[in-house]
A and B are shown apart, each in its own frame.
Chain A
Amino acid sequence: MSRDVYSALSGALGAWRSLEQVANNLANTNTTAFKAERMAFEVDGPNAHPLGEAYAKARPATRDTRDGAVVTDGVSTHLALQGDGYFVVGTGDAQVLTRDGRFAVDAQRRIVDASGLPVMGEGGPLEVPEGETISIAQDGTVFGSASGELGKVKVVTAEVRAIGANRFTATGPLGRSDARMVQGALEASNVDPMGAMVELVQASRYFEAFQKAMQASDELDSRLNQLGGR
């Protein structure tokens, strides 16, 4: 059995992974502040010899960090981030990062995210006094309609890892962010459906090509077997 069939197999598996990646991107076309990810591959294997083995090896997916469109909805507790940065939600050790600014005020008057985790200000959770409406400046300063400045929404930069539910955990130190905030708006998903469809077609075609390569390799083996049989 020749080894080139494994080279083709690694390529086919890579094409399948790409397809799964595109599937996830397209499923999240409407997910608030979703960032599209793309598979990347590199050549791997003992290729010192000019005709050595070469395999496709997946590299960590690259996240497209470009901002999604800012979609205005007029809800005063909704925030869209523009620029590199993440909101900090949750308290203590359970703090996570998110760009999903679908915030609301809960029964304890705290500003919370869509899952009910408190949104962190520079000095802890942010609270809205009874009967007041809030306005949020571009730099994140929160003003109450009667009591003035209430705090400032905390925004940080970091290397992150997606953990689902529009959340991320930091994989490195937190930095200072210059991201601006737009009140009464949400950041849309940055998935480009057109590009995703092209990737989808491409992945399918690559898979087909690798299948052909595997079949060709199989044919070659079968011919060799016939030689031996005579």
Chain B
Amino acid sequence: MRALYTAASGMTAQQLRLDTIANNLANVSTTGFKKSRDAFQDLFYQQIAGGGAEGDGGARLELGGGVKVAGIERDQAQGAMINTNNPLHVGIQGDAMFVVETLDGEPMYTRDGSFTKDPDGYLVTSSGMRVAGDIQIPDEADQVTIDYDGTVHALVATTGSDMVLGQIEIARFVNPAGLMARGGNLFVPTLQSGEPTPVDAGTDVQLVQGYLEGSNVDVASELIDLIQAQRVYELNSKVVQAADETLQVAANLRR
């Protein structure tokens, strides 16, 4: 009966792979989205004993029990920068994340820089969470500029004054793939990701005004994975069929 369970593990794994691909494809246009991939590992090996096909003493006779998903790994590769011409949109070029605050003041992290102003003039995310750095844009500001290092300036045309409003805070994780996704393009640290370290933007990490980071999902390779997942699923289902038919032949021994 083992062959049935082995094949079933293969089918379950491919099903999960389909789920992952579906989520990647659904997020092809999600700002700052990072695609995921399943990591597969073989299952434990079992020593065979009994029956007419037994091994001799010294040699080991082992059969693997199928496959399991060891984890789902997020690919942190940079997404393409998409020009939006919105002065409050910021894209991160490099390895870092925006620090945003929940209403309770808890920090969360995101690569989604589609910021706006709230009624009080504070720089907030599209879901209304404040961007760390307490940047308040005055009503009289005619133009907002954001430097590569995240410094936000407000220009007042009538007086010609250039006010520095603050700096957008960004942080980096040793293992960003270990962050936990909370939906809404937000992430929280875990033991695996390590603690955030503040990053001085400007050199290896740059903040680009008027741009958003696109999703890093590559549609063509996702579709190839999709085809492959479907075929491997099919192959494993054939094993179930073959095992079932073989068992039927065995059952027919007794007429």
Residues of A within 8 A of B231 (CB): 193
Q: Chain B residues near A20: list those with CB within 8 A.
A: 2-3, 6, 63
Say whether, besides A23-B7, A29-B10, A164-B42, A57 and B17 are in contact (CB < 8 Å): no
Of the 9-residue stretches B47-55, B81-89, B153-161, B207-215, which lies at the interface with chain A? Answer: B47-55
The CA-CA distance from A218 to B252 in the complex, in Å, is 13
Q: Does A75 lie within 8 Å of B53, measured CB to CB? A: no
In this complex, what residue of B is CB-closest to A22? B239
The B-contacting residues of A in range 192-225, CB under 8 angstroms, are 193, 196-197, 200-201, 203-204, 207-208, 211, 214-215, 218
Contact A13 B53 (CB under 8 A): yes
B37 surroundings in chain A (CB, below 8 A)? 73
Asked if A204 meets B242 with Cβ closer than 8 Å, knowing A23-B7, A57-B56, the reply is yes
| A19: nearest chain-B partner, CB-CB | B3
B185 to chain A, nearest CB (A): 21
Instruction: Find out whether the CB atom of A27 lies under 8 angstroms from the CB atom of B75.
Output: no
Q: Which residues of B contact A104 (CB under 8 A)?
A: 73, 175, 177-178
Binary per-residue interface labels of chain B (106-136) against chain A in the complex, 1 for a CB within 8 Å, 0 otherwise? 0000000000000000000000000000000
Most chain A C-beta atoms within 10 Å of own C-beta, residue among B10, B13, B43: B10
When chains A and B are docked, how far (Å) is the Cα of A108 from the Cα of B191?
Answer: 10
Chain B contact patch, size range: 35 or more
Q: Which residues of B contact A15 (CB under 8 A)?
A: 246
Smallest CB separation, A197 vs chain B (Å): 7
Question: Which residues does chain B contribute within 8 Å of A41, judged by CB atoms?
Answer: 53
Residue numbers in A under 8 Å from B10 (CB-CB):
23, 26-29
Residue in A27, A31, A55, A131 whose CB lies within 8 Å of B6: A27
Cβ contact within 8 Å between B42 and A162: yes
Cβ A58 vs Cβ B61 within 8 A: yes
Instruction: Report the Cα distance A104→B139, complex, angstroms.
Output: 46
Q: Quick one: given A74-B77, A215-B253, are A107 and B192 in contact (CB under 8 Å)?
A: yes
Binding site for B on A (CB under 8 A): 6, 9-17, 19-24, 26-32, 34, 37, 41, 55-61, 73-75, 100, 102, 104-109, 114-116, 130-131, 161-166, 193, 196-197, 200-201, 203-204, 207-208, 211, 214-215, 218
